[in-house]
Structure 1
Amino acid sequence: MRIKLFSVIALTSLLAFSPAQANIPFFSDKDETPTLAPMLEEVTPAVVNISVKGSREVRQRVPDMFRFFFGPNSPREQVQERPFRGLGSGVIIDADKGYVVTNNHVIDGASEILVTLKDGTQFDAEVIGTDANSDIALLKIKDGENLTEIEIGKSSDLRVGDFVVAIGNPFGLGQTVTSGIVSALGRSGLGIEEIENFIQTDAAINSGNSGGALVTLKGKLIGINTAILGPNGGNIGIGFAIPSDMMQALVQQLIEFGEVRRGVLGVRGNDLTADIAEALNLDAKQGAFIAEVLPDSAAAEAGLQSGDVIIAVNGEKVRSFADLSARVKTMGVGKPVRLTVLRDGDKTDFEVTLSAEEAAVEAATLHPALEGATLAANEDGGVLITELLEGSMAARYGLREDDIIMAVNRQAVNSVSELRNVLDSARGVVALNIRRGDSSLYLVLRGG
């Protein structure tokens, strides 16, 4: 009953528009029955099914009773290679070059990738580049013929309430089309990906839709379907798509470099709240409030200050600090960016050239007790342990992967270079303040 009611409401709403003025093909040629078929006939050939094969490492803990028989030096884990198969979706964005965009998790670990067009034609594909942090991957169809590409729209033009259509390959059924609206914009903090700035939609998205297209009623691509919230992986009307603007910025780098060379602005802060706006006497409701500008950063060189509020990037409105962070992280190193800032009630534009993201380093070069750990700057403060070798010196001291070093001997550190400087000046025992999940602890190192 609810489905029928939604259909009636949706069609009534659609009929309220003027198809001639909006240039949207709501009606068929033969009669005036509401339909999206003409638009879909143009768009769906650009949406493909992706099937993959490969093998992945599976780690299993060895029970203590078995380790007793094989001796204390026997491994704690067994590592096995197990074959896997997977299904997903993709979107052709360049027919001449055979470029297909999909999600990184669709093709992660795959040794064979097969792309199937709507008409059943199949082609092998190879990976051009991936970005796990944003869950984007770019493929190239080998020896592709008669390919159809999709027109890419501007996700920044979307509004909550706009009608959208999701196209993909749910549960391996084959190409399927569902419809809905934009439920929210700039969704973040979901813990799905490291970089989140999702379009939320109630168009039905299910397993296998990953990498598929979210399009407007004019057939323009405005999102790559990537995730859902729902029990047991089922659809409950809460789906998420990576905005097309973000996707394009990443794909351009993957084409040029084969990887994403992430830019860094060098600020910390939070969302502009009503309380902050009132305290600073600002005529704004949304934006990114800068609490701290890191020294020697791109923001510092451009003249940004703590207390500034960034309200637009390249003329496009900033909704939150997470929105700002996601946009910056998808732009390349050295990219010029125009930031519109509120300072003391006045609006000013700043030209900023993004600096390079600090590369991960082997921690043994900083302190012998950190041998076996790999470190990188953490966007929210501190220094992140990105990798940790089992049985290494750092592991024996009690460090874990994903720990964040917040301070050394009570001195805050927010980059690998800051950590190096503090450790170089430390003498004797070194106390690390660690953030682990929601808890905080101290670990003591020796041997510096």
Structure 2
Amino acid sequence: MIKHFRTGLIATGLTICAATLVAPTYAALPFFSSDKDEVPSLAPMLQEATPAVVSIAVEGTQTSRQRVPEMFRYFFGAPQEQVQERPFRGLGSGVIIDAEEGYVVTNNHVVDNADEITVKLNDGREFKAKKLGADEQSDIALLKIDPEDLTELPLADSDALLVGDFVVAIGNPFGLSQTVTSGIVSALSRSGLNIGGLEDFIQTDAAINRGNSGGALVNLKGELVGINTAIFGPNGGNVGIGFAIPSNMMKRLVDQIIEFGEVRRGLLGILGSDVDAGLAEAMNSDINKGAFVSEVQPDSAAEKGGLEAGDIIIAVNGKELNSFRELRAKVASMGAGAEVELTVLRRGDSIDLKVVLDDASDVQITAAEILPALEGATLAAGTDARGNAGIEVTDVERNSPAARFGLQPEDVIVAVNRQRITNLTEFRNALDGASGVIALNVNRGSTSLYLVIR
């Protein structure tokens, strides 16, 4: 079970663990003592890093909607749905990434629906924060506080991380501010975890628990390599499998929020799948990982950049690529208009292609291109009444198949067979993997409904 964490202080059992650092391993690092009479320590580095990691307290109201049974509406004149509002409080963590501007980055799920956000520094000072923008699918949010004598964390190049690198997690687990845990990078480019729409995580065994969300994952130089986001744990506790958003991905998204007030997601315009041994053999390739291109959309960034069906994308901007999901996350976070260099295997030859990404929000297609049963509808990326990303139905022709199935203009499709989708590429991929009956979860105003296509 994958867990996100926004929680108040709760009672918990404590387990004390100890680890031994071997002096010769770290002797060359500047923050470790080389004095034979002193024990190697991370303390000097942490004294510089921890002032940049903050506690975040939120207050807000959660709104839930429940459809009222038809007989109650008929006999008692009840409304179509019952709306309930419940106040909530939560705790999380954040990282100051720009001291002069007062920018604090955290997870979207930490501050989502919050009416009031309070940032507390390790010296006890508190600030009311303003949310400048957020991205649900990457789970990143950017806050701003008054820039009064703040400390920021320098950013590392997360693409340079290697499995086995030492890392330190700093955050606010269970309300215990400025808690530090250490470990290593256990894996890179983790995806397919169903945590969010865009997954390209650093996996670490540094202990991450409730309240660590939005906190810092730093290297031994005190540089930010990731934003702690979630853990894998059957009971919600740490089992040594935690996940962090890479600092490079975070920086690309934050830059878009600062410039535009929102994330303008990039779009390549391909359909595809992961490369495995069977596909590699079928394509007569020696490469057993990467992103296989099964279809290139007409007039897309991919077609303009020279990609062809049957290509295997093995690297993005010189960085080795492991899966199609990783490609999707990298492309989406780079933003519309970004120039990307793709290394491609084509009929045994390696070639480099430069592609300028489209804006996912500007792309509009006919539904029949994806699902012939919905002929007559026009689709584009959009958001529903609650701000959730999905596929908006911009137009439906009268008496068309789409109209007969019940689609209406301004409907927003948010899931296919209960698989969450946020953009046209995800919609295509979900339908490509579906067979038999297809159930579309549609948000119509404040109402959620299903349309079943047989």
TM-score, normalised relative to structure 1: 0.79
Change (3 A) 1:19 1:386: farther
Query: Which deviations, in whole Å up to 9, do the C-alpha atoms of 1:130-164 show, x marking residues without a partner?
Result: 1111110011113x311000010011111112111
Q: Which moved more, 1:57-66 or 1:257-266?
A: 57-66
**What is the distance in 2 between the residues matched to 1:442 and 1:60?**
25
Q: Does 1:57 align with 2:85?
A: no
Question: Which residue of the other structure, out of 291, 300, 303, is the alignment partner of 1:300?
Answer: 303
1:262 corresponds, among 265, 273, 279, to 265
Relative distance call for 1:56 and 1:18 in structure 2 (3 A) is closer
**In the alignment, is residue 182 of structure 1 matched against residue 194 of structure 2?**
no
Distance in 2 between residues matched to 1:118 and 1:236, nearest whole Å: 27
**Of residues 340, 344, 363 in structure 1, which corresponds to 2:343?**
340
Query: Which of 309, 318, 322 is matched with 1:319 structurally?
Result: 322
Q: Give the aligned partner of residue 136 of structure 1.
A: 140
Is 1:87 aligned to residue 91 of structure 2?
Answer: yes
In the aligned structure 2, how far is the partner of 1:103 from the partner of 1:77? 31
Match of 1:115 among 116, 119, 123: 119
Of the candidates 200, 209, 214, which is equivalent to residue 212 of structure 2? 209
| Contact 1:290/1:307 (<8 A) preserved | yes
Instruction: Quote the offset at 1:286 in angstroms.
Output: 2.5
Residues 324 and 415 from structure 1, CA distance in 2 versus in 1: closer, same or farther, beyond 3 angstroms?
A: closer
**For 2:153 and 2:253, how far apart are their aligned partners in 1?**
17
C-alpha contact 1:28 1:35 (8 A) present in aligned 2? no
Contact 2:405–2:453 under 8 Å retained in 1: no
What do the CA deviations read for 1:197-251 (whole angstroms, capped 9, x no partner)?
A: 1111111111111100011111111110011121332111111111111101101
CA distance in 2, matches of 1:95, 1:436: 45
Q: 2:68 and 2:30 mapped to 1: Cα distance?
A: 61
Residues 1:17 and 2:20 aligned together: no
1:114 is displaced (CA, Å) by 0.9
Alignment match, 1:240? 243
1:402 deviation in Å? Answer: 3.1
Note the C-alpha offset of 1:66.
5.2
Residue in 1 aligned with 2:11?
none
Q: 1:251 aligns with which of 245, 249, 254?
A: 254
Q: Given the superposition, is the C-alpha separation of residues 213 and 397 from structure 1 closer, same or farther in structure 2, using an over 3 Å criterion?
A: same
1:128 Cα deviation after fit: 1.2
Q: What is the CA deviation profile of residues 317-372 of structure 1, one whole-angstrom value per residue up to 9, with x for unaligned ones?
A: 111111111000001111111111111221111110001114598999xxxxx9xx
Larger radius of gyration: 1
1:81 CA drift (Å): 2.6
How far did 1:175 drift? 1.4
Q: How many residues are aligned here? A: 395
CA-to-aligned-CA distance 1:57-94 (integer Å, 9 cap, x gap):
122454677556514xx224311232221111000000
Task: Determine the structure 2 residue equivalent to 1:126.
Answer: 130
Report deviation, 1:397: 5.2
Structure 1 residue matching 2:210: 3-state secondary structure:
coil
**Structure 2 equivalent of residue 43 of structure 1:** 49
Q: Does 1:33 align with 2:42?
A: no
User: Which residue is equivalent to 2:432?
Assistant: none
CA distance in 2, matches of 1:374, 1:128: 32
Answering whether residue 331 of structure 2 is matched by residue 328 of structure 1, we say yes
Counterpart in 2 of 1:429?
Answer: none
RMSD between superposed Cα atoms in Å? 3.5
3-state SS in 2 of match to 1:327: helix
Matched residues in 1 for 2:226 and 2:204: separation? 10
Shift of 1:273: 1.4
> Whole-Å Cα distance in 1 between the matches of residues 305 and 403 of structure 2?
41
Paired amino acid for 1:214: L
Any conservation in 2 of the 1:27–1:36 contact (CA below 8 Å)?
Answer: no
* Structure 1 partner of 2:153: 150
SS in 2 for 1:128: strand
Deviations 1:18-63 (CA, angstroms, capped at 9, x unpaired): 532xx35233879430211111111000000011122221224546
Q: Percent of counterpart pairs with the same letter?
A: 60
Conserved 8 A contact 2:170-2:179? yes
- When residues 395 and 169 of structure 1 are mapped into structure 2, their CA distance, relative to the original with a 3 A threshold, is farther
Residues in 2 aligned to 1:75 and 1:359: alpha-carbon distance in whole angstroms: 37
> Could you list the runs of 5+ residues in structure 1 that have no partner in the other structure?
365-369, 406-413, 419-431, 444-448
More deviation, 283-292/349-358: 283-292
1:374–1:385 CA contact under 8 A, matched in 2:
no
- Which sits farther off after the overlay, 238-247 or 286-295? 286-295
Amino acid across the alignment from 2:453: Y
Cα separation, 1, equivalents of 2:302 and 2:393: 29
Correspondence for 2:354 among 351, 356, 367: 351
What is the deviation of 1:276? 2.6
Q: Distance in 2 between matches of 1:300 and 1:94?
A: 38
Look up the equivalent residue of 1:38 and give its one-letter code: P
User: How far apart, in 2, do the equivalents of 1:415 and 1:129 lie?
Assistant: 24
Classify the secondary structure of the residue corresponding to 2:58.
strand
